[in-house]
Amino acid sequence: MNRAYYNDSITEFIVTSPEEIIGKIALKNQFPLEQTQKDAWLAQIIILKDVLPPYKGSIYFEYTIPRMGQRIDVVILIGAVIFILEFKIGEKEYSLNAMDQVMDYALDLKNFHESSHDQFVAPILIATKAKDFISVIATTSQNDKLLFPIKSNVSLLAKVIEDVIFFSEGNDINQNEWEQGRYCPTPTIIEAAMALYNNHSVEEISRSDASAINLSQTSEAVSKIIHSSKVNSRKSICFVTGVPGAGKTLVGLHVATTHIDKSNDLYSVFLSGNGPLVAILREALARDKVKREKEKGNKTKKGKALSDVKMFIQNVHNFRDECLIDLASAPIEHVALFDEAQRAWNLEQTSNFMSRKKNRPNFNQSEPEFLISCLDRHKDWAVVVCLVGGGQEINTGEAGITEWIQSLERSFTGWDIYISDRLADSEYNAREVLKKLESRPNVVYDKSLHLSVSMRSFRAEDVSLLVKQMLDLNIDEAKDTLERVKANYPIVITRDLSKAKQWLKQQARGSERYGIVVSSQAERLKPHAIFVKSTMDPIHWFLDGKEDVRSSYYLEDVATEFHVQGLELDWVCVTWDADFRYSENGWDGWSFVGSRWNHINKAERKAYLKNAYRVLLTRARQGMVIVVPSGDSDDHTRPPKFYDSTFEYLKEIGFTVI
């Protein structure tokens, strides 16, 4: 696929007039063509025509990266090197944001473009009016042939290219093979939402390797159920399962963005009870929309952009409240996609809430039953899509998937049921209730409704399996899985939080996001300046840059399982408190009340705590450090014995100690 607005051999580029090159670029340009943009292209062309005559190779202007929704100024292939050039015409300084920008472009090709995986990649930031600056040419700490960003002005560029070529040994890159290489990105959920909202297909922004059930297959299976239900005037419910980070939310967003037109009776709504996820996605999409409209020369107010986004990403509780206003009318949507459906409330929690907050005493439906009933109001057809995570219930009153199926048996016997063939797996805790469906005629099991491979951790697909084995105390299996994981996905352990912070900063490149996550019950991390009950804003934490003290980068505010469920960072520090302790008898759960720890005996609360650590340990895309504090023998709430056994257990599995 040709991703560039202009590409040619360096030889042809040298002899082609600037006007012809600009004309070819302009023909593919999708934005208003300002004179400043034409001047910038002309300046880049003149500079490179002066620098490149000694070399053979290929050149690409405005190289598109759909995952990031951006374009690289210039990509050049010379010898064994892929040069990534970001021009700042007229600039005198090398800003941190610009350095991160060019590094992000390089990382994208290095990580997600198959033909670039094994090549030297050299990101160069060119501030044309800057003073001479001597950059050291060296690879980053990951030793994957990616160079540290190089600063250059116009006069130094020829020398920089020469030095990089001298530094980088290897076979010449084959232009045709490089261009034909598959682009297999693994975007964050925020990047994916922005790309889908801007009409990129799920195929463009997802992996296509044979080791994963392609997201497009699952999306297509859901779409077929929707269309079949409409054509045949049926009401259907669909259960999509997947391991942590496999892309369940992405499937939901894809269907919702495909059917975003309110005037179409296929109009869909993406619903989530995860408040932070909804707020973050809405804010990210609104910011991106304002930015894109500005690039097109249009002015769009943030409030208007947020209003548009809210049409298809809603908090499930707002949807529920709208349906409570008029119990007879059907919602505008025929299709509702419930993210993290296993977290919907059981009857007790729903009834309690309705009585206290909505002045509706004696409410007799669980949240799943009421939500299905809202779509059941349609006279012709409707579809409910439940996106289900295993072992993800982390809060009191979350019913799991069992209540959805029991609701169907009690009240919606005419609905068609489409089920992932993995819903019977132990982590979904639905095996017994599924037996009730054996005699039901309108039940279909479909393996394409399960996403089996985590795509969050694009460096190691078995991280979620490792975490499951670790939490299930399957030590031998965990050891074997760790051997497969650690080559591409570093996991280290330490007793020192300051070492962990340093490790995070050393690992992260460009704008790769890192942060500290802790259990919401981690009350005794205060001596480490971690105040789990302090207020933090997940929007700032997840979306703002390195200069903002509220962002995750500052390593001051921490996020809990409630903030990060459904989201991810590149690098994570999991700081482990004494609320969840390893013992010879298994995991012990503790709750800190007043001035002492109280043992948790209730099975449900134990499961929530275990799931909380499952969420925390599966947030990192590229690697993590686990901190188990040493404790303090002078503090009766933090004696070393509360922590040592957990650290020794992790050490026994084989995690590297720093």
**DSSP, res 525:** G
Compute the average pLDDT of residues 617-635: 96
Distances (CA, A) of 364 to 53, 319, 368, 370: 78, 18, 12, 9
Please give the pLDDT value at position 67. Answer: 65
pLDDT tier at 188, thresholds 50, 70, 90: confident
In the 8-state DSSP scheme, what is residue 149? Answer: P
Quick: pLDDT tens for 94-147.
999 999 999 999 999 998 898 999 999 999 999 999 999 888 899 998 889 999
- Strand ranges in 458-568 using DSSP code E only, listed in sequence order: 491-494, 514-518
Is residue 24 within 8 Å of 5, Cβ to Cβ? yes
- What are the start-end ranges of the E strands in 431-490? 443-446, 450-451
Question: Of 50-64, 254-268, 435-449, 477-491, which range is least confident?
Answer: 254-268
Residue 493 pLDDT level (bands cut at 50, 70, 90)? very high
User: Average of pLDDT values for 476-488?
Assistant: 94
What are residue 518's DSSP bridge partners?
575
**Which pLDDT belongs to residue 401?**
86
Residue with tokens 């009585």: 355
The mean predicted confidence, pLDDT, of the chain is 90
Q: Among residues of the chain, what percentage have pLDDT more than 90?
A: 64
The sign of the dihedral angle between the CA atoms of 161, 162, 168, 174 is positive
Half-sphere exposure (Cβ direction) of 653: Cα atoms closer than 13 Å: 28
Please report how the helices 316-325 and 367-376 are oriented relative to each other, as an axis angle in degrees rounded to 10: 60
Whether 198 has a pLDDT exceeding 90, the answer reads no
Lowest mean pLDDT among 5-14, 187-196, 222-231, 574-583: 187-196
Q: Which residue has the higher pLDDT, 16 or 322?
A: 16
pLDDT tens digits, residue range 215-271?
A: 778 888 999 999 999 999 999 999 999 877 778 888 888 888 777 666 666 768 888
Tokens representing residue 482 in the block: 């760790």
What average pLDDT score do residues 49-76 get? 91
Are 180 and 2 contacting, i.e. CB atoms less than 8 angstroms apart?
Answer: no
pLDDT one-digit tens code per residue, 546-598: 999 999 999 999 999 999 988 899 999 999 999 999 998 899 999 999 999 99
Is residue 379 over pLDDT 90?
yes
124: β partners? 85, 150
Strands 586-593, 596-599: parallel, antiparallel or unpaired by DSSP? antiparallel
Q: Identify the CATH number of the domain defined by range 463-657.
A: 3.40.50
User: Please, how many CA atoms are within 13 Å of residue 558, restricted to the half-sphere of its CB?
Assistant: 27
Q: What is the pLDDT of residue 604?
A: 87
Token pair in block for residue 595: 């001035």
Q: Which CATH number fits domain 189-273+312-451: 1.10.3470, 2.40.10, 3.40.50, 2.60.40?
A: 3.40.50
Per the DSSP assignment, residues forming a β-bridge with 64 are 71
User: Of the candidates 18, 160, 3, 23, which has an alpha carbon nearest to the alpha carbon of residue 78?
Assistant: 160
The alpha carbon torsion through 95, 96, 100, 103 (nearest 10 deg) reads 70
Question: For the chain, where do the domains classified as CATH 3.40.50 start and end?
Answer: 189-273+312-451, 463-657
| Mean pLDDT along residues 284-299 | 84
Q: What share of the chain in percent tops pLDDT 70? A: 94
